[in-house]
Amino acid sequence: MNRPATGPGGTTDAARAALAAARAARADELDRWLAGLLEAGRGPRRDASFEGVALLAVGSHARRELTPGGDLDLVLLHGGLPDIAAVADRVWYPIWDAGLRLDHSVRTVDEARTVARADAKAALGLLSARPIAGDRALAAELRAAVLADWRADAGRRLAELADICRERWRSQGELAFLLEPDLKEARGGLRDVQAMEAVAASWVASAPGVRVRAARDLLLDVRHALHEVTGRAADRLVLQEHDPVARALGFRDADALMRALAEAARTITYAGDHLWRRVERFCASRRGGGAPRPPRDPGGAAGAAGRGTGGAAGRRGAERRPVGDGAVEQDGEVVLARGADFGDPALVLRVAAAAAQAGLPLAPATVDRLAERAALPPAPWPAEARDALVALLGAGASAIGVWEALDQAGLIVRLIPDWERVRNRPQRDPFHRFTVDRHLVQAAAEAAALTREVARPDLLLVGALLHDIGKGGPGDHSVVGAAAARDLGARMGFADGDVRVLETLVRHHLLLPDTATRRDIDDPATVRVVTKALAEVPGREREVLELLSALTVADAKATGPSAWSAWKARQVAELCRRTAAALSGGTPPPVPVLGPETLALARHDGGAVRITGARVTIAAPDRPGLLWRAAGVLALHRLAVRSARTVSSPSAASHDTAVLDFTAVPEYGSPPDPAALEADLRRMLAGRLDVAGRLERRARSMRVRPGITVPPPRVDIVHDASSTATVVEVRAHDRPGLLWRIGQALGECGLLVRAAQVDTLGAEAVDVFYVVDAEGRPLTDPELLTSVRRYVLTALR
C-alpha cells in the first residue's frame, strides 16, 4: 500500500482514511483468494459429501481489521468429511508458500463447540468468526451453538474473561500513561474492545458505543502505520517509532500522536470500567445459574454516547439511598435524586463529591445528563461549588474515577478552562508514570492523605491539583503555572490572600525538594533562600511552609516510586524544620468575637433562637454541653455544620451568656422545617429533649456502607495560643454528628468550651476549641492534656 500524504497538504483524516481503505481492500482480496483455495482444495469431485465444508476467518481478519503484519487465523469446519486432511493441506500450503503467518485448525461443529467450552480464548475467536467460503449453513450452526453456550454459562465465562483481562492489565500496564505502550494488550487497547464485544454477545451489556468504536479505529490505524513503518508485526509503539508513525498518520508531531492515543485509551478504559462493574453485578446475581436476557436497548443511548453500556436495563425497582444533596445510590452507582435542580451552579461538583466521598462511581447516564443540562458555576464560583470541589479532591483515590467521568463528558475543561492545555499531555521522562493531567489528579489524591498536616486542607488540595498546570504552555512551567493558578484561584472564588498562597505554592512547588537535595542544608544561605520565597505571602509564611512540605510529598508520590525515597524525605523534613525555626512564629487562631447584633439576642428569661436560611444563631445562659447539644439537634434535622462560632460574653444578667452562630446545610434534600428546628432547639435549651437518645436511635436506623479510606483524625493541644484557656485543635473527615462527638468527649472530660471556631473545608473539618476546667482555668497538667487528647481521638474513631 502507498503511504498517505504527510506533507503540508496532508491531514490526519486523509491519512487514516487511506489506511482504513487499504485494510478493507486487503480483506476483500484475501477473501477472494481464500475462497479460491477452498474451491481448489475440494478437487474435481462435486458430490454431496463436500457440501459440509466451510472456511471461517477468526480474529482480526474476521473483523476486517487485518494490518500488514497481522496473522491469518482460519478454521476449516466440516461435517465429518473423511478426507478433510487432504482438503486442509490444499488450503494451508499455498498460504504458507505466500509467506503469510497462519494460525489454523480443522474442526467439526461438535469439536469446535467443545474447545470453545474449555478455552475462553478459543471461544472469543469463534464468537466473532466470519464465514469466507463453503457451507454457510454449517458456519451458522457453529456460531449459533457457540453463542448459546456462551450465554447459557455467562456467569462463569464472564468471570473467567474478567480474570484474563485483569492479568493482562497487570502485566502490560495502562496504555494511556505508557510511553511505549502495547497497542493490543495494554489496558485501554484493542483487546479490551474485543472483550467488551464478547460481553455484549452474552447479552449482559450493550455493544460498544460510537466513541469507543472511534477510539478503537484510532488504535487500529496506529497499529497499521506502525507495521508499515517497521516492516514487521509489532504491537509495542517504542520511542524511536513515535515520530515516523506520527508522520505516517498526518499528526503534527509525536506529542500530538501520544495525546490522541491517551484520549482513545482513556475512552475505552472508562467505558470498560462501567462494563466490568455491570459484569460483576451480573455474576454475583447469577451464581445460582441462569442465562441473561437480551438488553432492552442494545447499542442505544448509553452505547451511542460511548460512555459505558447497558442503559437502564435491570435498574427498575432498585433501592435508592441518599448519599448527598441531589445524589442517591442506585445499583452500586450514584445517580441524580428526583427533582435535582439543574440550575444550581454547584450541582455537578456536589454530586461528584458525594460519589467520591461514598466511594462509588457516577452512573454514565447521570454524567451525560449533567453535561447536557446542568449549569456550571459562574466566575467567581459560589462558596458551595468551591467547597464541593475541595470535598471531591479530599476523597483521595476515590476521586480519580469520578474525575475521569467528568473529564470524559467534557465537564472538567468547562469548569477549569486551563485544563485543556495539560489534558492527555505526555511526560517524556522515566520518572513520571502518568500524563500531566492524570498526574495532577493523582497528586491531589495523595495530598488528601496529608490534610491533617496543614491548617488549610482546601489550599493544599487545590494547590496539588494545579501545581503543574503550567506544563501546557511555553517557558518555565512553574512561572507559567503560577499565573494560571492566580487566575484560576480568583475564578474559583478564593479570597485574595488565599489566591496569593495558591500562586506561591505553584511557583515554588519544587523549591523544597530541589533545595534539600542540591544545596548544603548547614549553610545559613540555604534556609534564607526558602524564607525569602515564603515572604511572598507576608504573615502566612509558616502556613505556606507546611503547605509546600505536604505538596512536595504528594507530588513525589504521584510522580512514581523513583521520585521519593527515605533519604529525600529526611532532607526535606530537616530543611522544613530549620526554616520553621528561622521564622518569627505564626499567629494562633484568635478567640472568636461576635458582633453586637448577635449578642443582642440574649434574653433575661432564658434563650433566643434565630434561623435565617443556612444560619442558625442561639443565645442562652452558658452551661456545660450547650455547644455539642445544639450541634446534636442540628444533626437530628440532617443539617451538616459548615462553620460554628461560639463565645461567652457577660450579659446584663448575673451569669454569662453564650452565643452560638452556626452555618448549616442539609446533608441532602430540602432544608428542614425552620419551625420544627426552632422548636427542638428550644426544647433542648429547656432540658426537655433527649438529644443523645434520639441521635443513637437515628444512628441505629441508618444503613452503613463502606466509604472511602480517609486519614485518621488528628487532635493537637496548641500551646501558648491563649493565656486564659487551653486550645484543642481537631482535624478530621467531616461526617454527620462530628461536632456532637467532639463536644461530648470534651464534656465527659469535665471541660467547658469557652469559645470555638469550627470550619468545614470541603470534606475536612478543622475545629478549634478554647476549653477550661470546672473552675474556669486552662489545663496545665501534661498527663491530663494527654488524656484529653486520647479521649477525643477515641471518640472520633
Give residue-wise pLDDT tens across range 459-512.
999 999 999 999 978 889 999 999 999 999 999 999 999 999 999 999 999 999
Residue 468 pLDDT = 96
* Of 322, 325, 319, 321, nearest in space to 670 by CA: 325
648 to 593, 659, 760: CA distances (angstroms): 9, 6, 22
Given pLDDT bands bounded at 50, 70 and 90, which one contains residue 30? Answer: very high
Q: Which residue has the higher pLDDT, 454 or 300?
A: 454
d(CA 353, CA 359): 10
d(CA 699, CA 696): 5
Q: How many CB atoms neighbour CB 517 within 10 A?
A: 14
State whether residue 736 is helix, strand or coil: coil
d(CA 117, CA 52): 23
- 650 pLDDT more than 70: no
What is the widest separation between alpha-carbon atoms in the chain?
119
Which H or E run includes 572?
helix 566-582
- 167 pLDDT more than 50: yes
Given pLDDT bands bounded at 50, 70 and 90, which one contains residue 669? Answer: confident
All three cell numbers of 418, joined, read 486551563
Mean per-residue pLDDT, 293-299: 46
The answer to whether 12-152 and 155-295 have equal CATH topology is no
pTM (global) more than 0.85? no
* Of 270, 272, 266, nearest in space to 192 by CA: 272
Mean per-residue pLDDT, 565-577: 91
* Of 530, 532, 511, nearest in space to 577 by CA: 530
d(CA 9, CA 250): 10
Which H or E run includes 267?
helix 254-285
Residue 642 pLDDT = 82
d(CA 222, CA 22): 14
Within 8 A by CB and 6+ apart from 635, the residues are 695, 736, 737, 739, 740
Residue 599 pLDDT = 59
Give residue-wise pLDDT tens across range 79-126.
888 889 999 999 999 999 998 999 999 999 999 999 999 998 899 999
Residue 337 in contact with residue 669, Cβ under 8 Å?
yes
- Class at the top of the CATH hierarchy for domain 12-152: alpha beta
Q: Is the preceding omega at residue 711 within 30 degrees of 0, hence cis? A: no
* Of 666, 681, 653, 646, nearest in space to 755 by CA: 646
d(CA 402, CA 421): 20
d(CA 78, CA 55): 9
Portion of the chain with pLDDT greater than 90, in percent: 58
Q: Average per-residue pLDDT in the chain?
A: 86
- Provide the residue ranges of all domains of the chain, joining segments of one domain with +: 12-152, 155-295, 322-415, 426-584, 596-796
Mean per-residue pLDDT, 365-376: 96
All three cell numbers of 20, joined, read 482504513
d(CA 734, CA 713): 10
Give residue-wise pLDDT tens across range 712-747.
899 999 887 778 889 899 988 888 788 888 988 998
d(CA 485, CA 468): 10
The CATH number of the structural domain formed by 155-295 is 1.20.120.330
Q: How many CB atoms neighbour CB 154 within 10 A?
A: 23
d(CA 770, CA 781): 16
Residue 70 pLDDT = 82
